[in-house]
């Protein structure tokens, strides 16, 4: 609960930064606040679960682990996005929106009541709708925000219909009561319909095919730092909420809903990877890459292997997010210098900026799942869980999809090291960006060597 209080207080303080005239000192205050939130969150690890708001929030080890992960990702993201937002006169508003969205994200990983799940999703989503459309000089940004708002509202309708049917079966929004009611099978048809509607609503939020069609345009049109936020914090919160709901409430119905999710995973893996191969924009390629990674993450929910699946999702989301922040930071630096985001913008970067090139290669290798990066072990744990639950066919399909992914990730590496530079425009890296890229690259390598550091969080 202290995490929500700190994040809310930071958000409110940020809103008044312009009035109180400490805008220049706001950034370090936010970083210190996030560090404090991480400390107080970690202090409750392995203690009795804290119950708040009439048992609507449970801060158990699962919630604490994902809250810590979200805070780490947000900390790195603020370092990445600082320069972009400080160029805006409304930088305080942008930072406040991000902090308030973090309140929603933490609520999504700690809810024990469907009402709190809905509130967490809406607090997160509304803030991100505004952020996606925040580049007022870019028509594509306005289009991205509008599309995200429309599709997000549409998905919320499915979610609410599902919640209504589950309430009709169980008579409660409490997850434990719902679990007991699902086991009794009073209304199996209504219960299964509610579960599938909930799955559709959450699949929209997690950008699983065929409910992914909003994601490429929104990710491409939104400002690059906002895209990085959506691909990391939002996706982590969505999958933590997805797993928490189905693990607590519907394990007795896994035979009924897992087959549907199985096909969603297959569609997601092939549609996203095959489409990513055809992209000429690195930003849009990373958007489809993000959808592909949603497919791998959903495999852990299909497996439903208890704490092992939870650990796999935690490790995968954290390591994927770290690599993604690396990739989007390099993309932002290159596009700002050269005014373009296609593969040609990266040609010859290996000679002109070895540091950026090395960082980008490590990020691409991790996203592709090449050892010894953290991305390899992320896929390994997801695949291993699927094998343990006899989903061998799904693992084979995922491996084939991953091989397709290697092709388009290596297109970036080939452009960096094996294509001559065409524009001869210098690419400069600021001190803060150098710091965040050093941290993310180091984490990508170290977490690949010492994965147990994160796996022990749950």
Residue 98 contacts residue 74 (beta carbons within 8 Å): yes
Mean pLDDT comparison of 1-15, 128-142, 354-368, highest-scoring range: 354-368
Which sign, positive or negative, has the C-alpha torsion 181, 185, 190, 193?
A: positive
Q: What is the tens place of the pLDDT at every residue in 338-389? A: 878 888 888 888 888 899 999 999 999 999 999 999 999 999 999 999 999 9
Exposure on the CB side of residue 263, measured as CA atoms within 13 A:
7
Give how many domains the chain has, as a whole number: 1
Percentage with pLDDT > 70 across the chain = 98
Q: What is the tens place of the pLDDT at every residue in 304-339? A: 888 899 999 999 999 999 999 999 999 999 988 887
- 328 compared with 251, residue with greater pLDDT: 328
What mean pLDDT do residues 94-107 have?
93
Give bridge partners of residue 57 from the DSSP assignment. 52, 111
Contacts of 187 (CB under 8 A, 6+ apart): 168, 169
Phi, psi of 52 (to 5 degrees): -135, 155
pLDDT for 298 beyond 60? yes
Structural domain boundaries enclosing 335: 2-455
pLDDT of residue 44: 80
Percentage with pLDDT > 90 across the chain = 62
Residue 385 contacts residue 300 (beta carbons within 8 Å): yes
pLDDT of residue 75: 96
Three-state DSSP class for 51?
A: strand
Contacts of 20 (CB under 8 A, 6+ apart): none
Q: What is the tens place of the pLDDT at every residue in 151-164? A: 888 889 999 999 99
pLDDT of residue 406: 93
Q: Give the residue among 77, 379, 376 at the shortest CA–CA distance from 234.
A: 77
Three-state DSSP class for 137?
A: coil
Mean pLDDT of the chain: 90
Q: What is the tens place of the pLDDT at every residue in 171-226? A: 889 999 998 887 665 568 888 899 999 999 999 999 998 888 899 999 998 999 99
Three-state DSSP class for 43?
A: helix
- Compute how many other C-beta atoms are within 10 angstroms of the C-beta atom of residue 5: 12
pLDDT of residue 183: 66
Question: What long-range pairs does 290-293 form, CB within 8 A, spacing at least 24?
Answer: 290/207, 290/215, 290/219, 290/231, 290/235, 290/324, 291/207, 291/208, 291/209, 291/212, 291/215, 291/216, 292/268, 292/401, 292/405, 293/235, 293/320, 293/367
CA triple 391-392-395, angle to 5 deg: 95
pLDDT for 228 beyond 80? yes
């Amino acid at each position: 609960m202290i995490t929500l209080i700190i994040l809310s207080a930071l958000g409110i303080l940020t809103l008044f930064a312009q009035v109180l005239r400490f805008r220049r000192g706001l950034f370090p205050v936010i970083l210190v606040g996030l560090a404090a939130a991480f400390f107080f969150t970690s202090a409750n690890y392995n203690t009795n679960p804290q119950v708040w708001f009439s048992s609507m929030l449970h801060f158990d080890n699962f919630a604490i682990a994902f809250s810590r992960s979200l805070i780490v990702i947000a900390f790195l993201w603020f370092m990445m996005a600082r320069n972009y937002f400080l160029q805006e006169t409304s930088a305080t508003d942008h930072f406040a929106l991000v902090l308030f969205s973090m309140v929603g994200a933490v609520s999504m990983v700690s809810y024990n009541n469907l009402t709190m799940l809905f509130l967490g999703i809406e607090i997160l989503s509304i803030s991100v709708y505004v952020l996606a459309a925040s580049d007022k000089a870019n028509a594509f940004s306005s289009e991205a925000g509008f599309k995200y708002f429309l599709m997000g509202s549409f998905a919320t309708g499915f979610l609410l219909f599902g919640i209504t049917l589950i309430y009709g079966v169980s008579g409660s929004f409490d997850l434990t009561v719902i679990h007991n009611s699902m086991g009794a099978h009073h209304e199996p048809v209504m219960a299964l319909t509610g579960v599938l509607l909930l799955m559709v609503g959450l699949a929209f939020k997690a950008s699983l095919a065929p409910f992914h069609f909003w994601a490429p345009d929104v990710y491409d049109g939104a400002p690059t730092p906002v895209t990085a936020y959506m691909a990391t914090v939002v996706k982590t919160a969505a999958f933590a909420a997805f797993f928490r709901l189905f693990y607590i409430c519907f394990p007795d119905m896994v035979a009924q809903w897992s087959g549907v999710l199985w096909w969603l995973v297959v569609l997601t893996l092939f549609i996203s990877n095959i489409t990513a191969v055809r992209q000429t924009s690195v930003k849009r390629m990373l958007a489809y890459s993000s959808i592909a990674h949603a497919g791998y993450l959903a495999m852990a929910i299909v497996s439903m292997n208890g704490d092992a699946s939870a650990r796999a999702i935690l490790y995968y989301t954290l390591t994927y997010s770290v690599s993604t922040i690396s990739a989007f930071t390099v993309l932002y630096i290159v596009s700002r210098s050269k005014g373009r985001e296609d593969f040609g913008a990266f040609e010859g970067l290996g000679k002109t900026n070895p540091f950026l090139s090395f960082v980008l290669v490590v990020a691409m290798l991790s996203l592709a799942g090449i050892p010894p990066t953290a991305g390899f072990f992320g896929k390994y744990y997801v695949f291993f869980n699927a094998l343990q639950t006899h989903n061998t066919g799904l693992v084979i399909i995922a491996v084939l999809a991953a091989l397709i992914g290697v092709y388009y990730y290596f297109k970036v590496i080939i452009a960096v090291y094996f294509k001559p530079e065409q524009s001869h425009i210098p690419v400069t890296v600021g001190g803060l960006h150098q710091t965040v890229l050093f941290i993310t690259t180091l984490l990508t390598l170290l977490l690949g060597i010492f994965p147990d550091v994160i796996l022990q969080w749950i």
